[in-house]
Amino acid sequence: QQQVKQSPQSLIVQKGGISIINCAYENTAFDYFPWYQQFPGKGPALLIAIRPDVSEKKEGRFTISFNKSAKQFSLHIMDSQPGDSATYFCAASRGYQKVTFGTGTKLQVIP
Amino acid sequence: GAGVSQSPSNKVTEKGKDVELRCDPISGHTALYWYRQRLGQGLEFLIYFQGNSAPDKSGLPSDRFSAERTGESVSTLTIQRTQQEDSAVYLCASSLNRNQPQHFGDGTRLSIL
């Protein structure tokens, strides 16, 4: 059972544009929602995370929007840059231990 | 080193052989995790260690997979009688304790011929 659904599978954005990646979860016990960034040949790196008691969290150009009633959350990358080209994974867990990952979105930012 | 270290970075082996993958967590991190990432897919949880004990082994796909951790430090993931479907990147992560975010190594890319 896939508990975290992620879309789109791939995304091409012009430099300076907004990249939006969406995720939906099923398990209402989840209380931690991180996003990871992964470059080829590297492990995932924690980008930003949110808990369900807030609807939005912003760190620099990265914003998570969270809709608890819809069981959905999304990542917005403002002013996207070529260096943002990577694969992004949403994830969810109860606590921090057994993290369930989405299937990933490959982002390409073109100049 | 400052980060999670995994070795080898790449491993090619023949079907039916046993393999051992090693993870050196960040110094002082008590929690350690193993994940599997198949090509083009997300990460699948395999096992979680708190100290040297494994309270959650629920992700291990079969009894061919086992893991241990010694000295609250290094962990080894062992796959016996490897099959082609075991081909994947095996990622290790550690965290300061069970209530902190996980930090990942760069993984071991395992290819079964």
On average, the pLDDT of chain B sits at 94
φ, ψ for residue A43 (rounded to 5)?
A: -80, 165
- Whole-number pLDDT of residue B45: 93
With CB atoms and an 8 Å threshold, state whether B101 touches A89. Answer: no
With CB atoms and an 8 Å threshold, state whether B42 touches A41. Answer: no
Question: Which among B44, B48, B104 has CB closest to A97?
Answer: B48
Chain B residues touching A44 at Cβ < 8 A: 43, 91, 104
Identify which of B41, B43, B49, B42 has the alpha carbon closest to the alpha carbon of residue B77.
B49
Task: Please give the average per-residue pLDDT across B27-48, as a whole number.
Answer: 92
With CB atoms and an 8 Å threshold, state whether B104 touches A43. Answer: yes
- Whole-number pLDDT of residue B42: 86
Query: Which tokens go with A34?
Result: 């991180």
Does residue A103 carry a pLDDT above 60? yes
End-to-end CA distance of chain A: 39
Split at pLDDT 50, 70, 90, the class of B6 is very high
- Whole-number pLDDT of residue A69: 94
CB neighbours (10 Å) of residue B18?
A: 11
Tens digit of pLDDT for each residue in A45-101? 999 999 999 999 999 999 999 999 999 999 999 999 999 999 999 999 988 888 999
